[in-house]
Amino acid sequence: MTDATEPAIPAEGPRRARRVRLPKPLRNASLLIGAAITLTICLLAIFAPLVATHDLTQMDMANRFSGPSAAHWLGTDNFGRDLWSRLVAGARISLSIALIAVTASAIIGTVVGLVSGYFGGWVDLLLMRITDIFLGFPPLVLVLAIVAVMGPGLVNVALSLIVVSWTEYARVVRSTTLSLREQNYVQAARALGASWPRILFREILPNSFGPIIVLASLGLGTAIIWESALSFLGFGLPPPAPTWGWSLSYGTRFIRDEPWMSIISGAAIMVTVLGFNLLGDGLRDVLDPRRQTRGGA
């Protein structure tokens, strides 16, 4: 039903929110570097047990806080445990939580956005007011409060991240749906008697994938920051789970003399988040509907 020459968003449609654009030389590089970083970290996380050089809990008190060496690539922590092995294991935790949270938020937000934008009227009004309420909380405050009352743990951490993340998808998908539902191919589908679920999920949804993927990529970075913040504050996965945030925060006890443990754990978080942000920005430039329609309209 979808016409391949049909632009995803009409060029004369409502003006979309201002987008952040990177300078040209950085743009493609952004996609490449971002993809390289995230791919590497994902592979490390998936094969964490294979790439780990030491047992996660193997202590070596004689070698506490040793710097990087041939035996310990990234040095050791306060118990002489191998930091490289613990960090790749930590990548596994961070990425799993982020992936669960982002997937669920994207699904919830997308459904809300599709329904809200397509039906309009009081359905739209109600759903958007609810969205506004959740946007009304500073995200970290809500995340902390939820984990505070429900208790720490993988499921609760992921759940708290979902509560604060779905709103963004709802708003973006709603605005693409608003413009897509006036498109000829959607009108045609409706005229042919297609049911609304079919129109929403087979006609409109595929054309909204671009922005959803961009949001998801940026969202993975944000989720990792928040998950690490929770672990940092002591409300994430409890030890002995080798979370990045815990390792960063525990390292601060020795920060005057042995800052390495905190520095390297924080660096792991930052590089990963940077990777997802670069990937998201790069994807945005590739998938930006405005760029696709330019010249044609």
Partner 1 sequence: MTDYIIRRLLLFVPMALGIIVVTFGLLLLIPGDPAAVLLGQEATPENIASLRDALGLDDPWFLRLGRYMLELLQGDMGVSIFQNAPVSDIILGRLGATVELALVALLMSTVVGVFLGVTAAIRQGGVVDAVAMLLAQIGISMPVYWLALLLMLGFAVQLGWLPAIGRGEPLVSALGMALRGNPAPLWDSLAHIALPALSLALNSAAIISRLVRTSMLEVLREDFVRTAKAKGMRRRSVVWRHALRNALLPVVSVIGLRFGALLGGAILTETIFAWPGLGQLTISAISQRDIPLIQGIVLTFALIYASVTLLVDLLYAAVDPRIRLR
The verdict on 18 binding partner 1 (CB under 8 A) reads yes
- Residue nearer to partner 1 on the CB measure, 113 or 251: 251
**Exactly one of 22, 51, 104, 213 binds partner 1 (CB under 8 A); which one?**
22
Residues 169-228 that bind partner 1 (CB under 8 A): 221, 225, 228
Query: Minimum distance between the CB of residue 83 and partner 1, rounded to whole angstroms?
Result: 15
Q: Which of residues 121-140 bind partner 1 (CB under 8 A)?
A: 129-130, 132-134, 136-140
Minimum CB distance to partner 1 smaller for 95 or for 229? 229
How near is the Cβ of 1 to partner 1 at its closest, in Å? 34
Rounded Cα–Cα distance for residues 184 and 189 (Å): 9
Residue from 3, 11, 21, 69 touching partner 1 (CB under 8 A): that is 21
263 binds partner 1 (CB under 8 A): yes
| CB of 167 or CB of 207, closer to partner 1 | 167
Phi-psi region of 13 (alpha: psi -120 to 50; beta: other; left: phi over 0): beta
Q: From the list 11, 36, 150, 297, which residue makes contact with partner 1 (rule: CB under 8 A)? A: 150
Q: Is 25 in the site for partner 1 (CB under 8 A)?
A: yes
Is residue 239 close enough to count as binding partner 1 by CB under 8 A? no
Q: Are 65 and 76 in contact (CB under 8 A)?
A: yes
252 binds partner 1 (CB under 8 A): yes
Least gap, CB of 61 to partner 1 (angstroms): 25
Q: How far is the CB of 147 from partner 1 (least distance, A)?
A: 8
Q: How far is the CB of 276 from partner 1 (least distance, A)?
A: 8
Using CA atoms of 273, 279, 280, 284 in order, give the dihedral in degrees to the nearest 10. 160
Residue 191: CB minimum distance to partner 1, A: 32
Q: Shortest approach of partner 1 to residue 40 CB, angstroms? A: 16
Residue ranges binding partner 1 (CB under 8 A) = 18-26, 30, 129-130, 132-134, 136-142, 144-151, 221, 225, 228-229, 232-235, 245, 248-249, 252, 255-256, 259, 262-263, 266-267, 269-270, 273-274, 277-278, 281
